[in-house]
Amino acid sequence: MQIRSTLPTLKDVARLAGVSPITASRAIHRPELVAEATRMRVKQAVEQSGYVPNSLAGGLTSRQTRLVAAIVPSVAHSLFSDMLNALISRLAADSYETTLGISNYEPEHEETWLTAMLSRRPDGVVLTGTEHTTRTRRLLLNANIPVVELWDYSPHPMDVAIGFSQEDAGRAVFRYLAACGYQRPAILRSEDSRAHRRAQGFARAAAEANAPEPVQIVFPESSPQAGRGREALGALLVKAPDADAVFCSSDALAQGVLAYAHELGLNVPQFGVFGFGDQALAVNSIPALSTVRIDGACIGRLGAEALITRMRGAPATPAQDVGFEIIARGSTRPAEPLRRQ
């Protein structure tokens, strides 16, 4: 148990400034309600005493914590880290801080995090996707605070959802690859549920086009996606030597695949490599790489803004489809966005 010298309280500041505690409080948090002179004296007292407000006490009284609880599946993927950066920064601009939980793509972990986090009485919650345990939903319902679900478009969100249809994205990629003339596109992906739904869309589009069912190489979720490139492509070339294009579940994976493809002497883009995310774009060092462009930072910012709106008590658009964009580079045909919202 840490023995810490008692920190100065508002009472100390008030005494120093020769005012009542509530006036000191106002001078700090709502300076416009206080006379110039008083404000100055309080300000000086704050500096002199090294006062740091105690927001536990403040939150207890005001029932506002200026805290947001966010839970993401991972911080290792650029999409999520971009989002997180934008989310945290945007929230900070409105004086909200963020507690971060990492679910490792497991709804049960999400629930565990949420349980712990709710005891801090956050003003709002940010979750990923729309798959949550029953208890998670119940907790959130009882807590009765704004909730934003990011990444998936859902017509019936718990509160607010901002994202896009993973299925549509997968479908669009298949159609694009088919339009480029690829005959046997395959899928290299991790196990997570969003990648899974993209793959479903992809396969469905294939079925609709009477194309053969796409071969899938699936590997467990894990941090170093790029590292999977080698083994995933290797596995594919064994399982489906005639594959002529791959849809990767992340940009990092696509880069790893590309590096290995180069090494094998595969001719890209005759062998098509398709990524997912925003990095391959920034990486314009990779002209052969096409991608489904998703702007994680944008989702983070929009999420923060929707949440702020809700935390202010205003209703927000319950569901927002931010869409996606097909970016084609080095393809056998000119680029042509299939869908843009």
Partner DNA sequence: CTGTTAGCGCATTCAA
Partner DNA sequence: TTGAATGCGCTAACAG
Chain positions 272 to 311 lying near its own copies, rule: CB under 8 A, are: 279, 282-287, 311
Considering only 97, 106, 108, 242, the residue that binds its own copies (CB under 8 A) is 97
Please report, as residue ranges, which positions from 134 to 173 form the binding site for DNA (by CB under 7 A): none
Minimum CB distance to its own copies smaller for 29 or for 239: 29
Are 160 and 138 contacting, i.e. CB atoms less than 8 angstroms apart?
A: no
Q: How far apart are CA 83 and CA 301, in angstroms?
A: 7
Please tell me whether residue 323 binds its own copies under the rule CB under 8 A: no
* Short-list 298, 327, 329, CA closest to 87: 298
Please tell me whether residue 95 binds DNA under the rule CB under 7 A: no
Considering only 2, 5, 6, 284, the residue that binds DNA (CB under 7 A) is 6
Query: How many other C-beta atoms can be found within 10 angstroms of the C-beta atom of residue 241?
Result: 8
**Binding track over 52-91 against DNA, x by CB under 7 A:** -xx--xx-xxx-x---------------------------
Q: How far apart are CA 43 and CA 17, in angstroms?
A: 8
Partner in contact with 82, chosen from DNA, its own copies, none, beta carbon below 5 to 8 Å by kind? its own copies
* Short-list 311, 318, 338, 307, CA closest to 88: 307
The three-class DSSP label of residue 167 is: helix
Partnered with residue 319 across adjacent β-strands are: 161
Q: Write down the least CB distance from residue 19 to DNA, Å.
A: 4
Query: How many other C-beta atoms can be found within 10 angstroms of the C-beta atom of residue 62?
Result: 11
Please tell me whether residue 89 binds its own copies under the rule CB under 8 A: yes
Number of H helices, E strands in the chain: 13, 12
Please tell me whether residue 49 binds DNA under the rule CB under 7 A: no
Minimum CB distance to its own copies smaller for 178 or for 226: 226
Q: How far apart are CA 306 and CA 162, in angstroms?
A: 9
Are 202 and 171 contacting, i.e. CB atoms less than 8 angstroms apart?
A: yes
Considering only 2, 5, 37, 220, the residue that binds DNA (CB under 7 A) is 37
Location of structure tokens 């997570």: 192
Minimum CB distance to its own copies smaller for 90 or for 197: 90
Please tell me whether residue 264 binds its own copies under the rule CB under 8 A: no
End-to-end distance of the chain based on CA atoms, in angstroms? 55
Taking contact as CB under 8 A, which single stretch among the options 37-45, 181-189, 196-204, 259-267 is the one that binds its own copies? 259-267
Please tell me whether residue 63 binds its own copies under the rule CB under 8 A: yes
**Binding track over 122-161 against its own copies, x by CB under 8 A:** -x--------------xx--xxxxx---------------
Q: How far apart are CA 247 and CA 202, in angstroms?
A: 9
Alpha helices in 187-293 (DSSP H): 193-208, 225-239, 251-264, 279-282
Q: Write down the least CB distance from residue 174 to its own copies, Å.
A: 26
Please report, as residue ranges, which positions from 225 to 254 form the binding site for its own copies (by CB under 8 A): 226-227, 229-230
The three-class DSSP label of residue 67 is: strand
Q: How far apart are CA 73 and CA 249, in angstroms?
A: 15
Q: Write down the least CB distance from residue 29 to DNA, Å.
A: 5
Considering only 33, 35, 40, 57, the residue that binds its own copies (CB under 8 A) is 57
Q: How far apart are CA 230 and CA 254, in angstroms?
A: 10
Please report, as residue ranges, which positions from 291 to 330 form the binding site for DNA (by CB under 7 A): none
Partner in contact with 20, chosen from its own copies, DNA, none, beta carbon below 5 to 8 Å by kind? DNA
| DSSP state, residue 133 | -
Partner in contact with 37, chosen from its own copies, DNA, none, beta carbon below 5 to 8 Å by kind? DNA
- Judged by the rule CB under 7 A, the positions of this chain that interact with DNA are 6-7, 9-11, 19-23, 25-26, 28-29, 33-35, 37-38, 51, 53-54, 57-58, 60-62, 64
